Structures are given as structure tokens and as C-alpha cells.
Structure 1
């Protein structure tokens, strides 16, 4: 007869492994694409963004996923630094130096160097934080709701760098 403690450990291990291997759609099985569009920089198409929501509108009180499909190679350091720059810009001085240090480390652990065709998806979990998936595999969970809001604001804040992309993501303008 098998040891009950051994079975319990095996079940726990399988649960942890399956949740770590599951992609963001496991958490948002009813998510539908709200909108999407391309982000270009000096005429170069860097990525295609898509916003997935559980309702017909974006709501910061509901979980959502932002998917970025890359068309150009970029280093992890470039992704981290560009994200931090936008988070600072949108934070209007409310982003503290200790936030920058913690957030830099978190993004360095979550992101990778990207090549054309790679996909990074961020899953926003209100009041909890967020998770990042690289090509459908969980890369990092960040249990910091302030970070999560600041990060996703890069695309969804009214002062976002690319207001047309924001409108498209929110389904308020024609999608590409």
C-alpha cells in the first residue's frame, strides 16, 4: 500500500507543475479580444499588441491580458529600460527610487531577449499584481498591485505614448 504522505506530495507537485505550465487563458478562459494594433517607432513595426478582456470594455477592476507579438529583435535590457522610462513618465514623480530598484529586478527576471515571432503576455490581476508569460509559459509572477497598474498604464493610460494604439486596444478605433 502506498504511503498517503507520498500521494499528497505527488498531488501537490502535479498541481504546482500544471499551474506553472498553464498559459494565461487558464485564468481568463472567457476572455475575448477587445482590440489591437501595431506599435511603430520611427517607421519600424516593433510589435502587435492585443488586449483581451472578460467584458465588452476595459475595466481596471477586472483581470485582463495584454499580448505583445514582436516583429523585431530586442534585448531584455531594452524592454526593461523602455518600460521603466514610461512608468516614470506616466507616474509624474510618484514612482519612488525603491520602486525602480524592485521593479527593475522583477522585469529582468520576467522578460527575455525577444526575436521576431516571440510573444510576451502580461496578465493583470486587480489587487494582486500580474503574471508574465513568454510564448505561453509562465515566466514570472509579480505580487505588487502598484507595479501592475504602472506597467499596464504604459499602454492603457490616457497619456500613453501612442494614443492611437491605446484607442485601438480599447476597441474605440478601427483595429489594424
Structure 2
């Protein structure tokens, strides 16, 4: 096989291997923005927002949020952190038990992807495998609002993630 053809095939195969799960989760998903979230200066995760065609975030259209962890975190850390943020941004929700089935401990490099399925459902994928679907009234705005809403922990992080 001629060398240029082999090189082209290898390049194409490597690109297919890196197709984000978001592109498979809903048609036309493209990255809109990304940002690294830091806690006391230490990077916790890199977040990437996927929207239809990379368009600005529309809460009424499907979108996905991927977190690639840069540190090891326990299941308790993930669930408890989520519950605290839900409380802080609008009041507690009775979803702890479901989050415990959705989230497992993460190691550096692990990824979680949350894909919206309307205002009341989010599908979660861990390293490309679906772990659960969280259904609760207004869960999309409440959960995704932790990262993308008006009352996040870091407005600079949110603006960058939203591609602004």
C-alpha cells in the first residue's frame, strides 16, 4: 500500500476514535465552548459544551455537557457536591438516590457526559457508556444550571464554557 494512502487511512481512523460521545448522543452536536474548573487553584475538571451545530446555548434545544476529570473523586464527592450545588442554586431536590446510581468514583481522565432530553430528563454517560437517565421536573435547568446558569460558582468559567 502506498505510504500516503496508509497515512491518510491512519489519520481517518484516529479521528473516528476521538469522535465525542455527544456527537453520537444527538444529531449535529458540535462543541460550543470549553473551560477548566479550578477549586482553590487546583484543576478539577475540563468541561465542554455541545450544542446543535455549535450554536449558542438554547435551553429548549438538546445539548450536552462533558466533564473530563483531572483528579480522582469518590462517588460521595460527586453526589454530595451536586446536592450542595442544587441546594445553593434553587433548593434541594429529592434526587440523591438516583444520583448515587448515576455516578461512580472517577479517576483522572474519566469522563461524564450529560445529554438533555427535554426539560425533565438527562441521560448520563461515563466513558462512553450510558449509566442512567435522571428524570425529575425541571431537572435540565436545575442540574445543567450548576455549570451553565446565571448563578454558577464562576461566571468567567460559565462564559467560556458557553463560548461567550
CA–CA separation in structure 1 for the residues paired with 2:44 and 2:119: 30
Once the 2 structures are TM-superposed, how far is the Cα of residue 149 of structure 1 from its aligned partner?
A: 1.8
Once the 2 structures are TM-superposed, how far is the Cα of residue 66 of structure 1 from its aligned partner?
A: 0.2
Which residue of 2 is the match for residue 5 of structure 1? none
Partner of 2:147: helix, strand, or coil?
helix
- Which one of the candidate residues 89, 97, 116 is aligned to 2:108? 116
Higher relative contact order (CA 8 A, sep 6+): 1
- Is the aligned partner of 1:78 residue 2:77? yes
Once the 2 structures are TM-superposed, how far is the Cα of residue 24 of structure 1 from its aligned partner?
A: 4.4
Once the 2 structures are TM-superposed, how far is the Cα of residue 27 of structure 1 from its aligned partner?
A: 3.2
Tell whether the 8 Å contact from 1:103 to 1:147 is kept in structure 2 after alignment.
no
CA–CA separation in structure 1 for the residues paired with 2:85 and 2:132: 21
CA–CA separation in structure 1 for the residues paired with 2:127 and 2:106: 10
TM-score of the superposition, structure 2-length normalised?
A: 0.82
Partner of 1:132: helix, strand, or coil?
strand
Which of the two has higher C-alpha Rg? Answer: 1
Structure 1: runs of 5+ lacking an equivalent: 1-22
CA–CA separation in structure 1 for the residues paired with 2:95 and 2:29: 27
Q: How many aligned positions are there?
A: 143
Q: CA RMSD in A?
A: 1.4
Alignment of 1:22-171 (within 5 A): 23-55=21-53, 56-91=55-90, 95=91, 99=93, 102-171=94-163
| Deviations 1:95-146, CA, capped at 9 Å, x for gaps | 35xx3xx310111100010000100000112234101000010000112242
Partner of 1:90: helix, strand, or coil?
helix
TM-score of the superposition, structure 1-length normalised?
A: 0.77
Partner of 1:79: helix, strand, or coil?
helix
